[in-house]
Structure formats: C-alpha cells, structure tokens
Amino acid sequence: MHVSLGAYYTLILAVLVLMLGKLLTRHIRLLRDFNIPEPVSGGLVVAAVIFALHRFMDLSLSLESGLQSAFMLVFFSSIGLSANFAKLREGGKGLLVFPLLIAAFILVQNGVGVGLATLLGLDPLLGLVTGSITLVGGHGTAGAWGSVLETQYGLSGATTLGIACATFGLVIGGLLGGPLAKHLITRHRLARPLTESEQQQADATTVSEGSAVANFESPSHAPRLITADAAVETLALFAACLAFAEFMTGLTKGSAIQLPTFVWALGGGVVIRNLLDHVFGFKVFDRAIDVFGNASLSIYLAIALLSLKLWELSDLAGPLVIILLAQTLLMALYASLVTFRIMGKDYDAAVLAAGHCGFGMGATPTAVANMQAITNQYGPSHKAFILVPLVGAFFIDITNAFVLQLWISLLR
C-alpha cells in the first residue's frame, strides 16, 4: 500500500515530528548531553516506525518534495544573510590560518571516505557522503547534497545514508572534542581548573565586554523583539536570496561554474547582507534571520527524516561502520597533531581543537558546546569563541561546497 501526502499534510506531520523530538529531548538526558537536534530525535523514531510498517505491512509513504526543498533553501539563505564581514576584523590572523586548516581537513576527510569506499567495492560517491557532505556539513548539507546525488548522479539512498552518517557524526563530535582538549591541556600544562571565585570573576568579565565573544560565552543584552515589520523585511530578504539562487542556477546550468541551488542561495545571502550593511546602511535584523533560518532547518530535517528509507541501508551497514570509525580516528589525529600545533600549541589552540572536533564531525552548535565544556572548567578562550562560530557557520559551508564540487567532477 502506498500513501502520498500533499504539502499541507506534509507540514502537519513535520510539526508533529518536531513536537515528539522536543518531548523526547526534554525527558531523555542522553539526547540533551549529546546535543541531538529535536527533529533528529523525533524523526528517527518516526522513521523507525515507518520502517516497521514497510517491513511487516508493505506500506510506503511519499511526501511533498517541493516543500522540503523550499525550507532547505531558506536555511542556507539564512547562513549567507548572517555573514557580516564587519565581524571578521575581530578574528585577526587566525581567521586566515584556521579556514585553511579546515579546507585541508575537508580534502583529507573526503580522500579517506572515497579511498575506503573504493576499497570496499562501493560507489566512490558514497565516500563523499561518509566524508565532508555529512560530517563537516551536518544534517542540512547531508539532505541537500543527498538529493543532488540522487537526482543528478543516480546514487540511490544517498539522502538516507547522509542523515544516518550526520547523526553518527553529531554524537561522536560531541563525545570526542572535550576529552581530546582536556588531554592536550593536561599533557602540555596549558591551564589549571579554575577555582569557584576565579570562575565568577571570569563570568563577570565576559558579560561586561558586550562583544561578539560575550554573545557566545555569556549573552549580556536583552534580545530585540521580532515585530511584524521586521518579519516582513526578513521574508523579503529570503525571497531575494531564493530569486537569486533560481536565476543563477538557470544561468550556469551546464557551464563550468554550475553549482547546486542551495550554494547560490547561500552566496546570494552573503552579497545581499553586505551590500545592505556597507553600501545602503540598512541594519539587517540578525535575530529574525536566525529564527526563520532555524525554524526552516527544523522543518526541513523533519521532512527529510520522514522520507528516510532505512531498508536501503541494510546492505551498507558493515562498510559504513568501517568508514565512519576511520573518519573518527582521522578527526582525533588531525585536531591534536595539526589544528592544535599550527594554531599555537597554547590554551586557545586546545579549545580550538575541541571546536574543530565538534563541527568537523557534527555541527557548529556541537563545536560551541565542546568549547563551553572546556572553558567552564579552565577559563574563557575569546579567540576560540570568535573563530569557531565564524568559520563553522559560514566559511566551512562555502569551502565544503566548492571542494565537493571538485571531488564530484573528478569522480564523474
């Protein structure tokens, strides 16, 4: 039996998945400790139910794909619209070195994935799915590239595999970063645990700074309310990004610079944001962009997880475990032997290594959580809290997109 749901019912079901995920996260501490996103926790449960229905009742479910694509494009537009180049001055030289380290890591991560996939007799493109598409890119990029690989390159089950790998990376990224950084700090005697009075003083200093660093470490300002006018302005910005993405996708189709539509949406957001900031003097409402972007990501992920066909993974379970374990070892070695050493072998470098494990295997929120676990014990690292959010939330997506396009052109 086949059940097909239209856009309205797809949206209702996605919201129910989010509500289930929120309920699970609230009552299961393990999900909170590993920062598992609510759409992932709820979506995987529903995907398992759909799998059981398919296995025992031969029931299949199809959802409105256009709705999923629209929310995906809004999410990537929000990343671009959040990229204010004026913030880059705070990063200093590290903002030049750190992205280069990440770009090199993406190349190596994909090399390991493609190499092992080839050795195991799999399609080399699956090596990219078990590489930076899912581990550096996270769930959003996994779904976006998964659909591209399925529709343009005929790689069946790429989205399903991508969501599974991204979930694995999210958990491992949260488990790996803190212990690795603590080992580096202890081994090189970079810092000692703060006393209670020192921690209180550090918190007070952070809050009083009112900079981008303070916003991540300890927010010091009350949030600006989102009004109807602000919502309309923000929706107009998203519409401009989507129009730009659609135009550029059509313009570059079949050319040497052909890129997936979501990359153009992200790039359009960057251009629009900085033109408004630095040419027209228009103040973009960052909080509204974050709200719309995060809501779109949640709904997109819920729909993507509802579309999972877990039965397509059964033949890949063994090779998948081998490749992901190799990627975990690579992440630990690269963070401790390359990231830590090149970024200065000091306390900031150790915290950066923890952050790199977070978004190198999972997502930027995981990276921030890793760093907070270290700074709560050993003291603040302003350098790390500037570099990781900027690189993890923007540079890494642009770099990843171009590196993946290069890899795909080589493999196909």
The identity of residue 45, as a single letter, is V
117-121: long-range contacts at Cβ-Cβ below 8 A with a sequence spacing of 24 or more? 117/319, 117/323, 120/319, 120/322, 120/323
Closest to 269 measured CA to CA, from 293, 312, 240 = 240
Q: What is the pTM of this model?
A: 0.70
What is the pLDDT, as a whole number, of residue 411? 86
For 62, the 3-state DSSP assignment is strand
pLDDT value for 55: 81
Nearest in space to 87 (alpha carbons), one of 387, 399, 400: 387
Q: 277, 84 in Cβ contact below 8 A?
A: yes
Question: How far is Cα 180 from Cα 19, in angstroms, rounded to an integer?
Answer: 34
> With a cut of 50, which residues of the chain have pLDDT below it?
206-222
Residue 405, in any domain of the structure: yes
**Residue type (1 letter), 404:** L
- Is residue 17 situated within a structural domain? no
Domain count, the chain: 1
**Cβ 374 vs Cβ 181: under 8 Å:** yes
* pLDDT (0 to 100) of residue 285: 85
Dist. CA 104–CA 347, nearest whole Å: 22
pLDDT of residue 242: 95
At residue 143's C-alpha, the angle toward residues 261 and 271, to 5°, is 35
**Which residue segment(s) compose the domain that 162 sits in?**
67-218+227-283+313-411
Residue 349, domain member (yes or no): yes
Does residue 307 form part of some domain? no
The pLDDT score that the predictor gives to residue 218 is: 44
237 in a structural domain: yes
Residue 62 φ then ψ, to 5°: -125, 140
Amino acid occupying residue 114? V
CA angle 169/173/178 to nearest 5° reads 170
Confidence at residue 262, expressed as pLDDT on a 0 to 100 scale? 77
Task: Yes or no: say if 67 and 303 are a contact pair by the CB < 8 Å rule.
Answer: yes
Planar angle of CA 89, 95, 96, nearest 5 degrees: 115
∠ CA 206-209-210, nearest 5°, is 110
What confidence score (pLDDT) does residue 207 get?
A: 43
Query: Cβ(184)–Cβ(339) under 8 Å?
Result: no
**Which pLDDT score, from 0 to 100, does residue 130 have?**
92
- Residue 401's pLDDT is 83
**Which three-class secondary structure state does DSSP give residue 8?**
helix
